[in-house]
Amino acid sequence: MTAPVAPFGRALCAMITPFTASGALDQDAARKHAVSLVADGCDGLVLSGTTGESPTTTDAEKLALLRAVRAAVGDDVPIVAGVGSSDTRQTVALAQQAEQAGADGLLVVTPYYSRPPQAAVEAHFCRVADATGLPLMLYDIPGRTGTRVEPETLLRLAEHPRIVAVKDCAYDLLGSTKVIGATSLAYYSGCEELNLPLYAVGAAGYVSTVANVVPRQLRAVLDAFDAGDTAEAARLNRLTVPLAELMMASGLPGTVTAKALLDAGPVREPLQPAGREAADGLRRAYEELLAATS
């Protein structure tokens, strides 16, 4: 099977944004975490996405984070900067600033809350794509934005030369498979439970919150699949499920659960840190996964 084109690599981490105890952006911690992720097998990094607490970081903080991580990992590691917002003008401005700050690509989420119709969604993405020379990864996460990027809309958007990828959190394997087959869009799973199923039908890889904690274990699933050992890929994938479920489907946001397992400072309100019981459960699942894959 020919490997799909992966413009930003296969194994991408949706990186947390570390804060100091007082709640300020912690650039030193961000640099160290980014370097560690790359050393442990991440091909690229996605900054200022949902996991990066983009709704509660300022534009200035987003750019400072981007510059800090770029300096830490060098020019060879793809960095995709989250620039999405509910305001097209603000998204365009932040996209242009991210290009100047050294991003390799842009993550652009569907405009949220206003729930625009599909023609407006399409126009929004095209406006951002026309504003810079960088490739775009569209972020389809209707559970948070309230609006799906319908497959028919994606088929049209795929014709734009700078719209090259999709971070897929739509939970529609049939629709995603159809778009993968009909376009050259690089699909990245944004839901850990679909990393392997989407990869098996032609996705390029994943953008993972759980990779903040176990990057090597998630990458091993793709490596086994690429080596032709689908049984081993399935076995390794099953080992990650308990931790991924606790981190992403326990009722707590992935940012909260990731920071509970990392020394990365607090989350910003309105988010609250994980309680002791949840943190202890996460720690047990994490240690069990490490023991099973060591």
Return the active site residues: 139, 167
Are residues 160 and 184 in contact, defined by beta-carbon separation less than 8 angstroms? no
Give the CA distances from residue 10 to residues 67, 194, 199, 268, in Å, rounded to whole numbers and listed in that order.
23, 14, 10, 30
β-bridge mates for residue 232, sequence order: none
- Of the candidates 86, 20, 25, the one whose C-alpha atom is nearest the C-alpha of residue 52 is 25
Are residues 239 and 292 in contact, defined by beta-carbon separation less than 8 angstroms? yes
- Of the candidates 245, 259, 169, 250, the one whose C-alpha atom is nearest the C-alpha of residue 206 is 169
Give the rounded distance of the alpha carbon of 60 from its chain centre: 21
Q: Which helix (H) or strand (E) holds 218?
A: helix 215-226
Take residue 108 and report the two structure tokens written for it.
């652009």
Q: Which residues contact 161 (CB under 8 A, 6 or more apart)?
A: none
Are residues 108 and 141 in contact, defined by beta-carbon separation less than 8 angstroms? no
Angle subtended at Cα 96 by Cα 15 and Cα 210, rounded to the nearest 5 degrees? 10
